[in-house]
Homo-oligomer: A and B are copies of this chain.
């Protein structure tokens, strides 16, 4: 009882080709026939069969996204950008979420399944050789989001710049002894942020104290978690030279660090200034100065990029790099008004 184009063709006294034409790019069909077919289709409650359509067209109307740790606010925001952009097209979004980075490979395989999608997004996954091989063999559109590989399209933010901006901010507010609380170096963004930290120090002519860089070896979320920030801060506080400014490679780590600071009877920004990274929702509420990434825009741009790849498959590759921006709040400044002013003072542009 599902109604097909045959039913319509029968009832309207035309051929299935004509019915199909009506429902497609309307290649030359007379106005009469068209409206007649449309009417019959409406009467019968016809709906095109998505799968059959894809098969015949040799092109799916689905695009896939492989996302590790969907729980993360960062990804959800990007997803919004994707969705809002895709909603205006014929494409629907298949979401493959991996709980850990190890699960990414499995989900990627599912996503790369032939005939499934017209294109795919890969989020925040380190580009191992094996992955690059698989992705390069994929014949459809592909955009990396928040990760990078030469020769593949990507939309990323400039983590090096972000790390640098955060560090420079601390220097400018008068910090003398800077420290870095870093996530697991397996994470490429973490490494880039660290490089930015070092670069800012170097260009300010400051010496770089290796004991002031605490690196997580945590596997859970690659060290992007509160506990790892807490532990790192404790370690810093126990060191011989206590820092007066701390950059963390994520907000959650920064929040852990703040807890350690508070427990030590100290406070931010008075004793130690703290900068996070990401601008998650909580950052606002705890007044955390942070580096905001243009997440929504990343989603939009990634989607646009994918769509244009689908349209013109042979197109040259493009790597889009967006700049993060500094959001100044309580943990580095006494001037920003207390309490939870909604957004903080935004410095720089996204």
Contact = CB atoms under 8 A, between A and B. Distances in A.
Given A50-B116, A71-B80, A80-B70, A94 B255 contact: no
A239 interface: no
Nearest to A52: B55
Interface string A85-121: 0010000111111010001000100100111100000
A111 to B, nearest CB: 8
A62 B94 contact: yes
Contacts of A339: 259, 262-263
A139 B45 CA distance: 14
A343 interface: no
A84 B95 CA distance: 12
A50 B50 CA distance: 13
A60 interface: yes
A88 to B, nearest CB: 11
Interface in A62-78: 62, 64, 70-71, 76-77
Contacts of A83: 70, 95, 97
A2 interface: yes
Given A76-B76, A97-B83, A262-B339, A50 B113 contact: yes
Interface stretch (A36-44, A214-222, A279-287): A279-287
A114 B84 contact: no
A99 B84 contact: yes
B71 A114 contact: no
Contacts of A255: 285
A35 B168 CA distance: 62
Interface residues of A, number: 47
Contacts of A70: 76, 79-80, 83
Contacts of A48: 113-114
B96 A92 contact: yes
Given A77-B71, A80-B70, A47 B113 contact: yes
Interface string A240-276: 0000000000000001000100110000000000000
A77, A110, A113, A263 — which one has the most chain B CB atoms within 10 A of its CB? A113
Contacts of A281: 281-282
Contacts of A93: 94-96
A70 B116 CA distance: 24
Given A93-B94, A97-B83, A51 B47 contact: no
A340 interface: yes
A71 B76 contact: yes
A60 B71 contact: no
A71 to B, nearest CB: 6
Nearest to A64: B92
Nearest to A113: B50
Contacts of A110: 92
B76 A115 contact: no
